[in-house]
Amino acid sequence: MKVQIFSDCVKEGKNPEILFWVGCSGSFDERAKKITKAFVKILNDAKIDFAVLGNEESCSGDLAKRSGNEFLFQMQALGNIKVMNSYNIKKIVTACPHCFNTIKNEYPELGGKYEVLHHTEFLKSLIENGKLKIPNGSFKGKRITYHDPCYLGRANNIYEIPREILKKLDAELVEMKSCKSKGLCCGAGGAQMFKEPEKGDVDIKDIRIKQALETKPDIIAAACPFCNTMLSDGLKNKVSENSTSILDISQIIEKAKDL
């Protein structure tokens, strides 16, 4: 797999147009790594000039900030900004809505001003300018339901772009009971992913997966590595419905194009 590292590029006198921000889960989590690879395959297929920060990338700080640790958040942010500014980075794409939100909204006041895109926004622009073609048919007739990640939807008002991409697949897009601005959280946000839930009746992810399964989908489309993990865990508890799979939008495109 061809992936350039920014520091190498700079040594060779190259200045890649786009920084692909991989994020912690995209780098380390088994499921999320698949999303990362799928997205890289698409980027390479579309001949995009991009690079990653590699070992110079550090946690964006979203988790620290939502946990209330403003100090750690700003340490992380300022560190990352220092690296990115040293490479004179202009445009960032990431598959993680949490990194996307933090870098886009919370970095500028700390000195990090970039054009920040979520990978669904970037994929849509690739489709529009003809660099990414999705062949018709491979998902024909499949029922797909899309789960809105909180940090993409309500946090940043991106509801339609992921749906527009899915519509290109010739599939049948079905909506859950709570969708778009009313979408139900998967339960991971606000650092919940890293702690035991407080006492309650059910797990949030189980409510959400139930809503998703009510649409009788072949595929549950996600656009966030954390949602992906949460929903997959929720699905595991429902053994009978194992024909449904949970895929990130980039993985769906990867499959459609057979990359």
Partner 1 sequence: MISYLDNVLFAAALILSISLFIYNFKKILSNIRLGRDENRSDNPRLRLNNMLRVAFGQSKMIRRPIAGILHLIVYVGFIIINIELLEIIIDGIFGSHRIFSSFFPKFYNFIIGSFEVLALLVLISVIIFWIRRNILKIKRFFKEEMKGWPKLDADLILYFEIILMTLFLTMNGADYTIQLNYPENDIYVRAGSYPISQFLVPILQELSLAKLILLERFSWWFHILGIFIFLNYLYYSKHLHILLAFPNTYFANLESKGKFKNIDSVTSEIKLMLDDNNNIEGTDVSEVETFGANDVTELTWIQLLNAYSCTECGRCTSNCPANISGKKLSPRKIMMDTRDRLTELSNKIRSNSENFKGDGKKLLGDYISTEEVWACTSCNACVESCPIDIDPLSIIMSMRQYLVLENSAAPSDLNNMMNNIENNGAPWPFNQQDRTNWIN
Does 10 bind partner 1 (CB under 8 A)? Our answer is: no
Taking the C-alpha atoms of residue 230 and residue 180, their distance in angstroms, rounded to an integer, is 18
Single residue of 9, 46, 78, 259 touching partner 1 by CB under 8 A? 78
Q: How far is CA 158 from CA 6, 126, 163, in A?
A: 29, 17, 10
Q: Does 16 bind partner 1 (CB under 8 A)?
A: no
Q: Which of 13, 88, 201, 258 binds partner 1 (CB under 8 A)?
A: 201
* Both structure tokens of 144: 């797909």
Other Cβ atoms less than 10 A from the Cβ of 136: the count is: 11
Q: Which of 13, 196, 239, 258 binds partner 1 (CB under 8 A)?
A: 196
How far is the C-alpha of 151 from the C-alpha of 146, rounded, in Å?
Answer: 14
Angle made by CA atoms 53, 50, 148, in degrees to the nearest 5: 85
Q: Residues 93 to 152: which contact partner 1 by CB under 8 A?
A: 101, 104-106, 109-110, 150-151
Beta carbon nearer to partner 1, 52 or 134 = 52
Backbone φ and ψ of 222, nearest 5°:
-125, 165
Footprint on this chain of partner 1 (rule: CB under 8 A): 1, 3, 5, 22, 24, 26-28, 33, 36-37, 52, 54-55, 57-59, 61, 63-72, 74-76, 78, 101, 104-106, 109-110, 150-151, 154-157, 181-182, 184-185, 187-192, 194-204, 207
